[in-house]
Chain A
Amino acid sequence: MTRPSLPLVPLLMGVMLVVFLLLPTLVILLHGLSGGFFPALLQPVVLDALKVSLVTTTITLLLTVGLGTPIAYLLARYRFRGKILLDTLLDLPIVLPPVVAGVGLLLTFGRNGLLGPALTLAGISIAFSPAAVVLAQLFTSAPFFIRASKGGFLAIDRDIEAAARVDGASNGQVFRFITWPLAFPFLLEGMVLAWARALGEFGATILFAGSLQGRTQTITLSIYAALESDLKPALVLSAVMVVVAFTMLGVVRRITARRSRGES
């Protein structure tokens, strides 16, 4: 069979958008990776930012998966009153501008916020702490994971689970050996989406957690701060972000591709 030749007009229009989408990324790489990448990478500002981002996003991701998987499972498998409403509300942070999320977090967990007095009484102070960074990331990224993993649980053929039960598997075993592995590509996609969103979080973090090197200054905040004084670390960090993002996406593509090949 010969492949149909690509139609010209859509091709041209497509090329325009593709070039537009790729060019800025390539330019960042070119600038960031040219001369002095490693010296710039080893600057304390850069290393601190990488460390803060790595630690906070890891904690965020663990919380997201630990707390998000059950709710996604419940939403996918059970019917209860107000389910549609809950489903919609959980998507809200995806649509909210991050700065609004920051204001909301501040008014809730800030010293003068709704829970502020109680938290202060308990000796907990969240604003300006790494915990605030995690909360900002969790708020803006968890919905992405919930969405994706809910889709995963919905996509599984329920007959397979039923068959396992007939063979004497307990509910826990069914989840552990059937549901979880089958839904995993979806969960993984959700994890990557959520992680990427957490890594890129800016508006809520700068408002709620502030920006202090080595403590609350994540890669994104550090890029913003560096842009205002010294361009080189900003460009290096931007390039690092591009490389990391590309690697993550590549890994996920491979895993999901292998899994779907293995199944069929």
Chain B
Amino acid sequence: MKKPLLFALMLFSPLAHAQSITVFAAASLTDAFKEIGSAFQNKTGVEVTFQFAGSQVLRTQLEQGAKADVYASASDAQFDPLVKSGLVNGKQTFTRNQLVVIVPLKNPAGIRSLSDLAKPGVKVVVAQSSVPVGQYTRQVFENLSRTSKTSFSQKALKNVVSEETNVRQVALKVQFGEADAGVVYTTDLTPGVRAQVKTIPIAGKYNVVATYPMGTVKGGNPNAAGQFVKFVLSKEGQNILKKWGFLKVK
């Protein structure tokens, strides 16, 4: 009789473990946070479980009552409403990110700069506009249009053949060589991706700086969650983020 009961406990109760927290984090943080998670666990003994997805997905899930202890978003737009509604406490900007254009190694469309994305017939893949990176991408397009006084943004968006629901899907379609170009975070150029794509930097005057906020979720374990936030902000956490290409908070 005892064993099934234990099994049921394990299934339904996260409290069955001594100390564990669940962190909802933007998909772009996947690699960096996995490493931070194991470093944190080594140091504190607190087990970290991650759920990585588009920030907007995680936001919806939290609003629908999903249980988590920490929420780390890729944009303020998907974070601030949760603070406002009292679901998330505190707000710490913990890192920054920038955008970059990637093309398949063979570069079938002969893309050499951001402005080439507006050339007719180029197959562009971006994230949909509800995803932070999708919003940033459109901002970059706008910046180029405004600075160069062209209809670049309009033409580039016309070239979009697919709107993905998270940034890793954009990278995937370029890796497969199905798309001629995609716009992703610089941090999406993980070693695995970097070997399979060519990178085309976006000049600073057009680029957007994405700031990442995080906070503890109401109803979670405040102690362990607070500890995790502190760890990400610590020198050790920041070094891991830097290693994966993230920028320091000014």
Q: Which residues of A contact B (CB under 8 A)?
A: 106, 110-112, 127-128, 206, 209-213, 216, 224-225, 227-229, 231
Contacts and interface: CB of A to CB of B under 8 A. Distances in A.
Contacts of A111: 108, 177-178
Given A106-B178, A127-B178, A212 B161 contact: yes
Nearest to B177: A112
A217 B176 CA distance: 20
A230 to B, nearest CB: 8
Contacts of A211: 128, 162-165
27 contacts: A106-B176, A111-B108, A111-B178, A112-B177, A128-B123, A128-B178, A128-B179, A210-B125, A210-B162, A210-B163, A211-B128, A211-B162, A211-B163, A211-B164, A212-B162, A212-B163, A213-B163, A216-B162, A225-B163, A225-B165, A228-B54, A228-B57, A228-B60, A228-B130, A228-B131, A228-B165, A229-B56
B130 A110 contact: no
Contacts of B169: 206
Contacts of A206: 165, 169
Given A106-B176, A110-B177, A211-B128, A231 B161 contact: no
B183 interface: no
Nearest to B123: A128
Nearest to B59: A228
Sort chain B's interface into a size bin.
Answer: 20 to 34
List the 10 closest pairs (A to B, CB-CB), nearest first.
A210-B162, A229-B130, A128-B161, A112-B177, A127-B178, A228-B56, A228-B130, A128-B162, A228-B57, A111-B177
Contacts of A110: 176-178
B173 interface: yes
A110 B179 CA distance: 10
Interface string B164-202: 110001000100111100000000000000000000000
Q: Is the interface of A mostly helix, strand, loop or mixed?
A: loop
A225 B57 CA distance: 9
Contacts of B165: 206, 211, 224-225, 228
B160 interface: yes
A210 B176 contact: no
Contacts of B60: 227-228, 231
A120 B163 CA distance: 23
Interface of B: 54, 56-57, 60, 104, 108, 123, 125, 128, 130-131, 160-165, 169, 173, 176-179
A206 B123 CA distance: 16
Contacts of B178: 106, 110-112, 127-128
A128 B104 CA distance: 16
B109 to A, nearest CB: 11
B207 to A, nearest CB: 24
A175 B9 CA distance: 60
Nearest to A213: B163
A206 to B, nearest CB: 8
Contacts of A224: 165
A212 B164 CA distance: 8
Nearest to B54: A228
Contacts of B162: 128, 209-212, 216
Residue from the set B54, B123, B176 with the largest chain A CB neighbour count within 10 Å = B176
A224 B216 CA distance: 27
Contact of A212 (B54, B104, B160): B160
A180 to B, nearest CB: 41
A177 to B, nearest CB: 48
A224 B165 CA distance: 9
Given A110-B178, A112-B176, A228-B60, A210 B164 contact: yes
Given A211-B162, A228-B165, 6 more contacts: A110-B176, A110-B178, A111-B178, A112-B178, A210-B162, A210-B173
A123 to B, nearest CB: 12
B132 to A, nearest CB: 11
Contact of A210 (B56, B104, B130, B161): B161
Contacts of B131: 228
Contacts of B130: 225, 228-229
Nearest to A126: B178
Nearest to B131: A228
A37 B84 CA distance: 29
